[in-house]
Each structure stands twice: as structure tokens, then as C-alpha cells.
Amino acid sequence: MEPDKRRMEQAYDNMAPGYDSAVGPGIGALMRQLLGDMDVGEAPVALDVACGTGISTFALIENTGGKGEFHGVDISEGMLEGARRSAEAHGLTNVRFTKGDAENLDYTDAKFDVVISNMSLQFFPDKPRALAEMHRVLKPGGRLAILFGAGPMFREVWEVLGEAAARRPEHPGFAASVEEIKAMHIGLEETEALLEGTGFEKTYVYARHRLVHYEPEFIIHNIPYAGCWKIALPGDVLPEVVEELTERLTESRTGKGFRTTWYVILAYGTKL
């Protein structure tokens, strides 16, 4: 597996135990927005790409009244274990969670009526390839619905991280990982071009943009994105950097916490 994917896998394996309580409610709300603009159809054969602990898969299942055949694929076994436990707890027998890479889906061509992916496309290093795989596994007439962090997502957090990285030239991996995280956030035009370049038709792409306020500790410890850069630092340097960042985020906080920008793109397409 490529090093950046292994880092991603490790980051989510580490986050898996606390994931549902840290971000579950927010992720569930995003998923309802994504489904709100989609006709899932009757009893679909559906795939959730980068399903994590299954929050998005379970929302999709609920949306169809439980009827259909559901598959979830994710690169992190830790996240998948959570998904399988929840499926068992809810007595669901028509869902299967499998380890795999979004850029190399292990499913036959034209298997699915619906492919969804929630808060994950930003993480795929080769987005055209991931979208081509989603297109390949859809049946003709099948529908894609994806939501992901994009554009200026957490811009203010990256500024603080970038400044901290600049003060630590002895750890070029730190600055490089901040740049990598910024670069993974694409914009509306690029999204539309990517979908259409992949062969999706009837595309519909829009963004939701809002301000959010977080406590510095929350940003440091709980935002999954923040977990990604930690991996790129040597373990002995991490505590000092976390201390410095907490200080910086605290200095820049408003009365309600550290203000940052939340920006997600919702994108839909059909395979004709």
C-alpha cells in the first residue's frame, strides 16, 4: 500500500474507538443533507465508499426502509470493526462491510444502483481514479451522491498549522503534510469537471459554507483531519508541537472558541 494510504489507515484505526461520539452527530446530519437531494429508489443494491463506522451506510439503509442490499468498503479495519458491531447490534443482515481501497474497488462492473461516499473524497490521493471506480461499479442508470470537505475547509486551522510548521524547518515532513492536507481540498469547478470527465451525466454540484467555533483541544484531538498531520511528525516532537498549537489556537479564539470555516461540496451524477 502507498505510504500516504497507510498513514490514512493508521490515523483512522487510531480514531476508530472515539469516532462515533466525536463526530457522529455532525456526520449523520451531513448524510441527511446528501440523501435529501437524492432519489435512492426501491430496494437498491448500494455501495458506501469509505464507509467508516457505517454511520452513512446506516442512514442510507434507514432511508430505504431497510430494503435492499448494502455494501460498505473502507481502508481502516478499525473503522470497519465498529461498523460490523453496529450492524450486528441492529440485527441487520443485508449489509456487508469489507476492507478495500476506494481507488481499486473489489466489485464487478455494473453491480450497484447507488454509490454514495460521505466526507471521504478529500482523502483519496487520486480522485479521478476513485471516481472512475465508482462509475465502473454503477449500473447504467445508477446514481452517485458524494459529500466531502473541500475549498476553504478549516482554512484558519491550516494557517496556524502552517505557521507552526514554518518555525520547525528541521521537520520538513510537518510542513509537507500541512500542504498535502490543503491540496486535498478541491473546489466546485474542479468537482464538476472531475465528474463530467469521468463520464457522469446530469451532474448537480453545490457547496455549503458556514462558520464553526471549536475549542482548541477539540481541534487538536478530535477533528479527524488534524489526526492526519500528527502521523507525519516524529513521536518525540509531537507533544511540544501540540502544546504550541494549543497556545496559538487559544490566542486566536473568539468568545465562542476558535473560529474556522466549514465548507463541504455535495455532488450528484448519473451513469447513463
* Other Cβ atoms within 10 Å of 238 Cβ, number: 13
SS3 119: coil
Size of residue set near ligand SAM by CB under 6 A: 22
Looking at beta carbons only, is 119 or 264 nearer to ligand SAM?
119
Partners of 58 in beta bridges: none
Diameter of the chain by CA atoms? 57
Looking at beta carbons only, is 164 or 181 nearer to ligand SAM?
181
Indicate whether 50 belongs to the interface with ligand SAM (CB under 6 A): yes
Looking at beta carbons only, is 14 or 94 nearer to ligand SAM?
14
Grid cell locating 230: 500528527
Q: Hey, which residues between 94 and 133 contact ligand SAM (CB under 6 A)?
A: 101-103, 118-120, 123-124
Residue among 7, 27, 87, 258 that touches ligand SAM (CB under 6 A) = 27
Grid cell locating 52: 467508516
Distance CA 6, CA 236 (A): 21
Looking at beta carbons only, is 164 or 268 nearer to ligand SAM?
268
CB of 39 to ligand SAM, least distance (A): 20
CA angle 36, 41, 47 (to 5 degrees): 85
CB of 241 to ligand SAM, least distance (A): 23
CB of 134 to ligand SAM, least distance (A): 11
Distance CA 271, CA 175 (A): 39
At 233, give phi and psi (nearest 5°).
Answer: -110, 145
Looking at beta carbons only, is 122 or 191 nearer to ligand SAM?
122
Distance CA 253, CA 47 (A): 40
Indicate whether 55 belongs to the interface with ligand SAM (CB under 6 A): yes
Binding site for ligand SAM (CB under 6 A): 5, 8, 12, 27, 50-52, 55-56, 74-76, 79, 101-103, 118-120, 123-124, 224
